[in-house]
Copies of this chain bind each other. A is one copy, B any other.
């Protein structure tokens, strides 16, 4: 509960940090039971008890062994702006008529000025069980943050990881375009997808609003509708085009295109493979080139890629070349992408030689039909000539695993450690459903070759691991799994992003470009067998000997003793 000073500090913080991207990310964006609990805490005078919650996940997504952490910036913006308007209060009163008025007065004064948030930096590679964030503060307030934080982290981390996996399978040299706007969960599902796919290694998006909000580069070409909206070349009213250097004007670009089409059809090196092409398509391409002569990119599969799309495109591209322009390339959106890209490349190379057009063979080929990790991998195995992949549905919906199971668990209250057990005994045994109690510090230990070796969680009171000093790393639940590690380098994982009323130094939120850079760098630093698609090696996550003993004593203490009858 913040006093007058708290509020002023909170307002200053909100100004500094900025508003959440989505204006709907307000203090009402939570589960109803969080308010019920807040009331129950308040009623029991327990609302200001100092609680520590860990936000973590239990299993890497997509059958992989790594996850990229994302969503931190939106969480910090959320708490910086966390407060209840009078309208919010009226609504809450209407749905919780059994609550005393004084509780709503308490909510009116509530903000996040005495909450502390420690987090792994956004864009980091992270692993199961290790807290991504530790949130401390009055139990009633931190409880209200559970749902929005999990909401803001879950999809963000899932889709960033998905993007990173697509980048990994496509390879560094390919251009990756996010085309997911029409398949995401509504407007800001799409906007989040664009932001986090860029973070995970994509180069551009088709989503104009995301480009506007985050400065992500925009890309795209026309659609099939554009091609089929034309009937014939007569529909182009102004056929003139100035040459690139401005020195001359071609009065009839359309005739030039027709001449080139004839030359292609008669070219010796192509042995007459091209017959008659679709004239509506040719008109659409010519008209698009007149609008974008510096940037001509055509979708070539509206009628028939090899019989119509490719020769029509080449005729327009060669006509542009006559005027000093360089066409960008084509997009394939259906059919056998491996075969068609190879055939298209052959034609481009043949025409480069036949008509002596430098770099014509290197034209960009973009592919975009329901692509995902598997289809890109299959294309790679078959061989293809695609330079750029446009990926939508499978990327933004995270089709192969549509949710990451982030949880937010109480690990300490009023300095007393807490644990959550589970009804599922099997899950308890490998620790799957058991939370790791205590306020913890977490470290990543690096080996001689620069790779991270293991993450270790320790009790807050323990001394930090030191480079060159041997330390015992234990599996958190399995007694026999343990190893001594002598780290070459030690990195503390949780950093202070929201100091609350503590005097801890605050880490500034980095830019999206910086976060993207961190993500790329962290993935490169990871041992390749953790990241490979097939049978990746699990990265080790451990606890200190002291924390191990503590967890297990608490576990025995809390779990009921069975009775055999």
Contact = CB atoms under 8 A, between A and B. Distances in A.
Nearest to A186: B192
Given A206-B33, A225-B53, A150 B182 contact: yes
Interface in A496-546: none
A151 interface: yes
A36 B188 contact: no
Contact of A37 (B26, B155, B226): B226
A288 B95 CA distance: 17
Interface of A: 20, 22-26, 28-37, 39-41, 43-46, 49, 51, 53, 88, 91-92, 95, 98, 139, 143, 146-148, 150-152, 154-156, 179, 181-193, 206-209, 211-212, 218-226, 228-229, 231, 235-238, 275, 278, 287-288, 290-292, 294-295, 301-305, 307-308, 334-335, 340, 393, 397-399, 402-403, 405-406, 408-410, 413, 416, 418-424, 433, 558-560, 563
Given A24-B188, A32-B208, 17 more contacts: A22-B186, A23-B24, A26-B209, A30-B208, A30-B209, A32-B206, A33-B223, A36-B291, A39-B291, A40-B287, A88-B212, A150-B182, A154-B182, A187-B188, A225-B408, A225-B410, A228-B418
A40 B31 CA distance: 47
B186 A302 contact: no
Given A208-B32, A212-B28, A558-B278, A225 B143 contact: yes
B181 A49 contact: no
Contacts of A301: 422-423
Given A33-B221, A208-B32, A308-B560, A237 B45 contact: yes
A30 B181 contact: yes
B182 A95 contact: no
Contacts of A295: 98
A25 B187 contact: yes
Each complex incorporates copies of this chain amounting to 2
Nearest to A407: B182
B229 A420 contact: no
A235 B44 contact: yes
A31 B208 contact: yes
B399 A403 contact: yes
Nearest to A418: B228
A397 B393 contact: no
A307 B236 contact: no
Contact of A416 (B44, B231, B413, B420): B231
Nearest to A212: B91
A420 B275 CA distance: 21
A259 B212 CA distance: 65
Pick the most buried of A43, A146, A188, A275: most chain B CB atoms within 10 A of its CB: A188
Nearest to A179: B31
Contact of A186 (B40, B188, B292): B188
A208 B146 CA distance: 13
Given A23-B23, A291-B39, A393 B403 contact: yes
A29 B208 contact: yes
A399 B222 CA distance: 31
14 contacts: A22-B187, A31-B179, A39-B292, A40-B222, A43-B287, A45-B237, A51-B229, A151-B187, A154-B183, A183-B403, A224-B409, A225-B409, A228-B418, A304-B560
Contact of A402 (B31, B37, B402): B402
A423 B37 contact: no
A76 to B, nearest CB: 15
Contact of A292 (B98, B308, B402): B98
A430 to B, nearest CB: 15
A186 B183 CA distance: 14
A53 B235 CA distance: 20
Given A33-B221, A218-B95, A229 B181 contact: no
A420 B302 contact: yes
Contacts of A402: 393, 397-399, 402
